[in-house]
Amino acid sequence: MKNIPLTEVDKKMRSKEMFLKDLEKLKRKLQSIYNNINIDDIINKLLYYYEAGLVSINQSSIQLIISAHLKSLGYRVFVEYETKGRLLDIYAVRETDIGIEVEYGYVPTFNAIVAEEYLKSRLALKILRYSNLCSKFYIAVPSFYMPPIPTELLEDHKDEKSIRKIIRLVRKYHKVNDITSNDVKLAKVDGIVNVNISNLKVNFIDKYTYIKLENLYR
């Protein structure tokens, strides 16, 4: 008996089922750690954006793990949070608000021999677009990845030379026209969020500790 090829609808349905199965598996693990914490709202939102083709299981896994962690600390947490016409991967509010963008370190094959510079460019673009939408801003990464955040964006004061350098870096790999010198001046990074996807540990690392670690890493 011949195998009947899957239709595009069948493929999408199977992909959705696998995505939901993975998140439900994560949910059970997280609830065993965080005393049956309710994260159904997070899963439903991620599923909606997965069906729209806007998130992957890699990104969503980190979003779900961080969301559970922040909820356990008393934060109100939202994923794919729309504000000022842009979507933040994670937005959380307690006494103050936190914005988090997930970065997994993926490099397209056509940028393979300029991987570090390409990743710096993508990180810079995320920081310029999203860091001013919240009081504190973090880049979230899996525990096996040290993100190459441009040094200029870790500085409190950015001179004209640094501003021009960052804009050139972003535009070298991304066709964008919504980034201004003022975005660079106001950009901030409060640190990174290190996420171990296997044991579900979440560690917020401030930017000064990140700088020390990054110097050792390089």
pLDDT digits 0-9 by tens, 152-172 = 999 988 999 999 999 999 999
Whether 55 contacts 35, CB under 8 Å = no
The predicted pLDDT at position 11 comes to 76
Per-residue confidence (pLDDT) for residue 115, from 0 to 100: 96
User: What does DSSP assign to residue 53?
Assistant: T
Give percent of the chain with pLDDT exceeding 70. Answer: 95
Predicted confidence at residue 1, as pLDDT, reads: 47
Beta bridge partners of 136: 98
Stretch 5-31: mean pLDDT, rounded? 87
Tokens of 178: 């919504």
Per-residue confidence (pLDDT) for residue 5, from 0 to 100: 63
Window from 35-49, 60-74, 110-124, 203-217 with minimum mean pLDDT:
203-217
Note the pTM of the prediction, 2 decimals.
0.92
| pLDDT surpasses 50 at 197 | yes
CA distance 61 to 46: 9
Digit-coded pLDDT (tens) for 56-103: 999 999 999 999 999 999 999 999 999 998 999 999 999 999 999 999
pLDDT at 28: 97
Quick one: angle between helices 40-51 and 57-72, nearest 10?
Answer: 160
The tens digit of pLDDT for each residue in 34-63 reads 998 999 999 999 999 999 999 999 999 999
pLDDT at residue 3 greater than cutoff 70: no
* 3-state SS record for 54-85: CCCHHHHHHHHHHHHHHHHCCCEEEEEEEECC
Return the pLDDT at 10. Answer: 67
Q: What is the pLDDT of residue 4?
A: 60
Sign of CA dihedral 171, 175, 177, 178: negative
Cα distance between residue 42 and residue 40, in whole Å: 5
The mean pLDDT value of the chain amounts to 94
